[in-house]
Amino acid sequence: MFRVSSRFITAEVSRLLLLVILSLALSGALLVGYAGCGTENTTVEIAQGSVKGTVSDADLYIFKGIPYAEPPVGDLRFMPPQPPQPWEGTLEADEFGPIAMQVGGEGEFTDAPMSEDCLTLNVWTPGLDGASRPVMVWIHGGGWIGGSSRDPWYDGASFAERGDLVLVTINYRLGAFGWSYLGDAENGEFSESGNLGLLDQVAALEWVRDNIDAFGGDPDNVTIFGESAGSMSVCSLLGMPAAKGLFERAIAESGALNTIRSTEYAAGITAELMDKAGMTDVDGLQSLSADELLAAQEDLMEDAFMSDTLFGPVIDGAVLPEPPLHAIAKGSAAGIPLLTGTNLDEVRLWSQFIPGLLDYPIEVDLKAMPWLAEALPGPLDDVVASYESRRPGATDGDIAMAIGTDVIFRMPQIRLVEAQSANQPDTWMYLFTWPSHVGDLGACHAIELPFVFNNLGAQGVSDLLGEDPPQDLAELMQDTWIAFARSGDPNNDSIPEWPAYETESRATMELNVSPAMIEDPYGEDRMVWDGIPFDSVVPSL
């Protein structure tokens, strides 16, 4: 490279050529320019020091396990994340960091190390060249108690390569470590403890703002996206003052703002946790080893009918001054285009974990939703009869699954899109309807994820989707998410024209192998719940 015979170069031309080469090197262009010479540079400089990544077979630069905050251990347990300290030498970013403390680890996906020292992130980028690409930051789900950024379903290579963008995945604190409300403790030192998971996410976004340009990303063009608890996190960030200005667009998949906790409820859960741990105050909880605190959490979860409701964000008056849905309705995210939606059969996923769920009498099925009695607009029999009238031949389990999907997922998502579209015209709603080839799962919770990440061959995907899922649908989904990340508009050549959402037509894109534009899908079901706010007052909706 740059080899020219001296017989054809004058001294003046040599000097000019040297100046050109030096200029390119200083601009960063030669970081990738020397790849053909076998001296590829995978090291970048960030605020804390040098970071060395790896290069994939697809010529993507990958950085794993970069700390975005100090390890929240010792006296920092139950405290907001602190800025990471500089390091000496070069950080070898070739291995994922430990997953956050969680009961059961990550199951079948990995035997990854687990630690309180979990506040790391990962980056996939097409180039270290100052190209100012769009940035997408993924917030994983897991019911506030599980999951991690290293899950193979969330591998960012396809996004980075297909979209020519920078993909970031992050860890955040979970369970008792991330959501224990200790705001009533003396001196107010732990007033933000109930929302540490959200504060971790904000710290990661601050890291992106300060460092992502070194990875070829544009810090002023950031889209946050997540699913399930990750989607609820996205929605919470839309109404969270500390997150303002850290992202330009948001995608929320199957999770809104109906399970955020009051301080009273959260304090009660923390009191139960202390009882399980045999402690009476914060000092006692801090004195426990990470394994001991996790064991107390596991005991608490075993006593709960639905462990997903134990932990999560708290309307604490500090991090979340008010229910985020209320803040969004007032315009807290007026400048943020939003893409959101649900899957047709969300709660059928739980039939994989509760044997016989689809065969239970409807009253038993609905015990999974203990708040339902207070949410009902009338007697349960009337609601059931309304749903049955539009589903001839449906079983009790089918009706319970339809009502459960609407109460837990679709109606809260509709309330979110109603609130946001009133302040931001670039608001878009989808309904994912491709059914699993496994049992009676249908278009269940999480089924869209392998399509969004275009990772149909990832470990465990066939257990949910079955064999030979449609690759065309994966490309359609990813192209749609990429289009939105680039412009705030999901329209692209893979789908029909998609109007923004407004409450007259309620335009919704049905995402399937043959996508279709529909208005107010299942509108009569939706109207059953008129007047129910689904606004984060837990345990009652």
Tell me which residues are annotated as active site: 228, 346, 445
What is the rounded CA–CA span in Å between residue 495 and residue 510? 10
Contact 512, 433 (CB under 8 A): yes
Q: Is 256 helix (H, G, I), strand (E, B) or coil?
A: coil
Q: Is 482 helix (H, G, I), strand (E, B) or coil?
A: helix
Q: Are strands 120-125 and 61-67 parallel, antiparallel or unpaired?
A: antiparallel
DSSP classification of residue 342: E
Question: Which of 34, 61, 132, 48 is closest to 88 using CA atoms?
Answer: 48
**Cα→Cα distances 60→38, 41, 165, Å:** 15, 12, 11
Question: Which of 338, 327, 354 is closest to 490 using CA atoms?
Answer: 338
DSSP classification of residue 131: -
Contacts of 393 (CB under 8 A, 6+ apart): none
Q: Which two tokens stand for residue 432?
A: 């994912």
Sheet strands (E) in 244-400? 249-253, 338-343
Q: Which two tokens stand for residue 368?
A: 């999974």
Q: Is 492 helix (H, G, I), strand (E, B) or coil?
A: coil
What is the rounded CA–CA span in Å between residue 514 and residue 503? 25
Our measurement of the distance from residue 351's CA atom to the centroid of its chain's CA atoms, rounded to an integer in Å, reads 23
For residue 120, give the H/E element and its range: strand 120-125
